[in-house]
Amino acid sequence: MKNYQWNIAVMCLVTVTIIGAFSFIRATPHEYDRSIGSLHQIREMNISSSSDSKELTLSFAVAHGTKEAMKPTVEILDIESTPLYYGEKLKISNDSSQGKYVVAVNLYDTRLQEAAKHNLNIQGLKLSSENHIVKHIRAAYPADDSQMIIYIGCADKPIVEIDEDKNLLVVRITPSQEHRQE
């Protein structure tokens, strides 16, 4: 191979390598929206229920900006005696339409993508409670710029199971009586 041909080949190889390296370094999962920021982003929320029980499953599709897991914490609260966040304030709710018990899923460094805001917002989403335990779902934001709570209002005292997979957070809510029968 002539000298100049060799030089051209090497230059092409180096250029391609540099572009490839640059692209690789800049690559992030395509579902993660850099313009929103934060470590984790909820892309959407799906609700599914079982036909032969009152169990309800909430599935949150998640995009990550870190290898760390979300590690949500869960509390089961009695709505009549426990204050909940409304805006930046804690208040005891007298709104029985939200259910007798509230499952509070606490999330950290998590923001919502646009598609998730439709169902998950501070106004809340009312669900028919005839076939399952959950009556109401809303997002709340404590007076902290990195925390978010998902309040899940339940008609009966629930049992909560949380599974966190790579890009999915699953919250399974079952009435405690149903759970005991199993």
Binding residues for another protein, per CB under 8 A?
25-26, 28, 32, 34-39, 65-67, 86-89, 108-109, 111, 117, 121-122, 140-147
Q: Which is nearer to another protein, 40 or 54 (CB)?
A: 40
Q: How far is the CB of 50 from another protein (least distance, A)?
A: 32
Measured CA to CA, the distance from residue 55 to residue 47 in angstroms comes to 11
Measured CA to CA, the distance from residue 23 to residue 45 in angstroms comes to: 31
CB 108 within 8 Å of CB 38:
no
Tokens representing residue 168 in the block: 């999915």
Nearer to another protein, 143 or 168 (CB): 143
8's tokens: 């051209």
Choice between 28 and 131, CB closer to another protein = 28
Smallest gap from Cβ 108 to another protein, in A, equals: 5
Q: How far is CA 11 from CA 3, 5, 128, in A?
A: 12, 10, 65
Shortest Å, Cβ 128 to another protein: 25
